[in-house]
Amino acid sequence: MGTRRYQFVACLVGALALVGAACAPEEQKAAEFTPGPLGAVTVEPGAPIKIGLIQAISGDTASLGQDQVRAVEIAIEDKGGNLLEQHPIRTQVEDDLCKAEGGTTAGQKLAADPQIVAVVGSSCSGAAVPAMEILSGKGIVMISGSNTSPRLTSDLRGKQGDAYKLGYLRTAHNDIIQGLAAANFAFQKLGAKRAATIHDGDPYTEGLANAFGSSFKELGGTISLATAISKGDTDMRPVLTEVAASKPDVVFFPIFQPEADFIVKQAKGFPLLADTKKLFGADGLLSDTFIVIGQTEGMYFSGPATPTGATYQELVAKYEKKFGEKPIQAFHAHAYDAVNMIFAAIEKSAVKESNGTVHIDRQKLIDAMHATKDYQGLTGTLTCDKFGDCADAKIDVVQNTPTEKTIDQVRGNVLFTFDPPETG
């Protein structure tokens, strides 16, 4: 028996001495700090504050996640690498593969670490659904810079999305806004009465095409054809034959490369679609490799408004210096804002002890995040609603004309900016 007791004591001593924070019992500090219903993170003096990242960093959507991971790195550098004076900020990046099962694995991995304070992610809405459920169950706050599905938050009319869970927020716009913006542009600015939509079976493109369709109909237009292709298709001529036969004034296809390449290249052969001013894409196509295609000249694109202002230019400059290329996707600024909102909320809600130990109450952190109001971010003035939509959702419609050579110039060629009316 003696040896066992010795083992037990040795284990405790060993754990305290060697493993430090990971094994340290939290009850010691209970006297001074009472955690809320969701628990709290206790950070020892000098120990790091850990932020998790759930992003798609491999596969065909890798650029979406990569872009945001880089933005978070820059945000941490801008913060000086430390939070609350002496706690270094550490990140842990988990790949969500842009899929629900990837979101589950990534969520479980982060949820398993009790030191994770908050999570920036996910990249894709499909991965957000399970990840949100897991993280919400642990009281971990999660904020995404690129999820846009309405079901993750709300329909902006007060109806909670069916996937919404407490602790979820986002700085990306809600699809409903982009659908509305694109429909407004097509109907009012272009004077289109008939529109065709094409999606590729991806939840993002399908959601956006449908949002566009319903807004366009509400405005009084007609959806001449709502069709779809499959990822991996190359021969778009049959489907374009159908699209042309429906005689649309504009074709909205918020899909990705390479399928969109095939559409624009093959549309040239159809007299009814040869005018590239009838082609209308979305932010998934605002990339250098797409706009160099000759047939995209004249095409319109909708997407989140590119931030302006000196602070944003600074971010781009740092990005280029650090990673050797210009930002590769549209959501780096959103991720930058998201992680800075986390920092602000941590600073607001953390309780410090005299010896430097910090307690971050999870419930208080979530409340602090939701209380974000008129936060001056790169993407605008952010105010969070009760379902977690924080974006200052300005949507730009830009056009690719012969004078625009780079993606930045295209992004700068704004024809229309949609600033949604305040909704309940």
Partner 1 sequence: MTATGELAAIDFVPAPKAGPRAIRLGLVGGAVAVFVSVNGMVEAFSGRLLLGSLALGEALLLSVPLLIGYLAGRPEPVLEGFTARRPGWRNVLAGLVAGLASGVTLALFVVLVASFDIRGVFLNATPELVRDGPRILTFGLELGAGLGLLLGLYVALGGAGGVLQVLPGRFRRAVLTALGWVAGLALMQPAVAQVLRGIQQELRIWTAPLTDFLYDASGALSVPGIATIAAAAFCLQLLASRQHRKPVRTRLEQLPDRSRRILRVAILAAVLLLLGLLPQVIGPFLSEVLNIAGIFLLMALGLNIVVGFAGLLDLGYVAFFAVGAYTTALLTSPQSSVGVGWVFWLAVPFVILAAAVSGLMVGTPVLRMRGDYLAIVTLGFGEIARLLFISDWLKPWFGGAQGIIQVGDISLGPVQIRTPEAFFYVLFVFVLLAAYATYALQDSRIGRAWMAMREDEAVAEAMGVNIVTAKLSAFIVGAVLAGFGGALFATKIGSVFPHSFNVIVSITVLVVIIVGGMASVPGVVLGTLVLVGLPELLREFEEYRFLIYGALLIFMMLKRPEGFIPSGRRAEELHEQEVAQDEWLVAGAPETGATDADRDEPN
Partner 2 sequence: MARTNLVPPGPVVGKRAFQLPIVDGFLWLVRIAAIALILVGATRSIASARLSGQQWRDLVVFGIAQGSVYALVALGYTMVYGVLRFINFAHGEVFMIGAMTGYFVTDGLARTALWEAAPFLSLFIALICCMTVSALVALLLERVAYRPLRGAPRLIPFITAIGASFFLQYTMASLFGTSVKSYPEVEVLTGSFTLLGFRVLRVHLLVIVAALVIMAGLYLYVEKTKAGKAMRAVSEDQETAKLMGINVDRTIARVFGVGGAMAGAAGLLFGLVFQNVFFLSGFLPGIKAFTAAVLGGIGNIPGAAVGGLTLGMVESMGPSLVLVGLGIPAAHQLKDVVAFVTLVLVLIFRPTGILGERVSEDRG
Q: Contact positions toward partner 2, by CB under 8 A?
A: 60, 62, 201, 226-230, 232-235, 237-239, 241-242, 244-245, 257-258, 261-262, 265, 269, 289, 292-294
Look at residue 257 and give the partner it binds from partner 1, partner 2, none, a contact being a CB closer than 5 to 8 Å depending on partner kind: partner 2
Structure tokens given for 187: 């109907």
- How many C-beta neighbours within 10 Å does residue 320 have? 12
399, β-bridge pairs: 300
Nearer to partner 1, 126 or 179 (CB): 126
Q: Binding partner 1 by CB under 8 A: which of 40, 116, 120, 163? A: 163
Q: How many residues does the chain have?
A: 424
Please report whether residue 58 would count as binding partner 1 according to CB under 8 A: yes
Nearer to partner 1, 1 or 31 (CB): 1
The one-character DSSP state at 295 is G
Residue 392 makes CB contacts below 8 A (sequence gap 6+) with 377, 379, 380, 381, 382, 383
Q: Binding partner 1 by CB under 8 A: which of 52, 207, 221, 304? A: 207
Structure tokens given for 21: 């924070």
As a dihedral over the C-alpha atoms of residue 264, residue 396, residue 160, residue 331, rounded to 10 degrees, the angle is: 80
Q: Scanning the structure block, which residue is given the tokens 């290249």?
A: 265
Q: What would the DSSP string read from start to end of 125-157?
A: HHHHHHHHHHHHHTT-EEEESS---GGGSB-SS
Q: Which amino acid is at 380?
A: G
Min CB(388)–partner 2 separation in Å: 31
Residue 176 makes CB contacts below 8 A (sequence gap 6+) with 150, 155, 156, 211, 215
Please report whether residue 62 would count as binding partner 1 according to CB under 8 A: yes
Min CB(94)–partner 2 separation in Å: 20
CA angle in degrees (0–180, nearest 5) for 200-185-401: 80
Q: Scanning the structure block, which residue is given the tokens 């990249």?
A: 123
Look at residue 413 and give the partner it binds from partner 2, partner 1, none, a contact being a CB closer than 5 to 8 Å depending on partner kind: none
Nearer to partner 1, 149 or 184 (CB): 149
Min CB(203)–partner 2 separation in Å: 14
Q: How far is CA 158 from CA 140, 170, 306, 389, 422, in A?
A: 24, 16, 28, 11, 12
Min CB(163)–partner 1 separation in Å: 5
Look at residue 241 and give the partner it binds from partner 2, partner 1, none, a contact being a CB closer than 5 to 8 Å depending on partner kind: partner 2
Please report whether residue 130 would count as binding partner 1 according to CB under 8 A: yes
Please report whether residue 111 would count as binding partner 1 according to CB under 8 A: yes
Nearer to partner 2, 226 or 351 (CB): 226
Please report whether residue 206 would count as binding partner 1 according to CB under 8 A: yes
Please report whether residue 228 would count as binding partner 1 according to CB under 8 A: yes
Residues 357, 221: Cα–Cα separation, whole Å: 60
Q: Binding partner 1 by CB under 8 A: which of 29, 151, 193, 268? A: 151
- Cα 126 → chain centroid: 12
Please report whether residue 8 would count as binding partner 1 according to CB under 8 A: yes
Please report whether residue 203 would count as binding partner 1 according to CB under 8 A: yes
Nearest Cα neighbor of 328 from 275, 382, 374, 286 is 286
Please report whether residue 19 would count as binding partner 1 according to CB under 8 A: yes
Contacts with partner 1 by CB under 8 A lie at 7-8, 10-11, 14-15, 18-19, 22-23, 57-58, 62, 95, 99-101, 104-105, 108-109, 111-112, 126, 129-130, 133, 137, 149, 151, 162-163, 199, 201-203, 205-207, 226, 228, 230
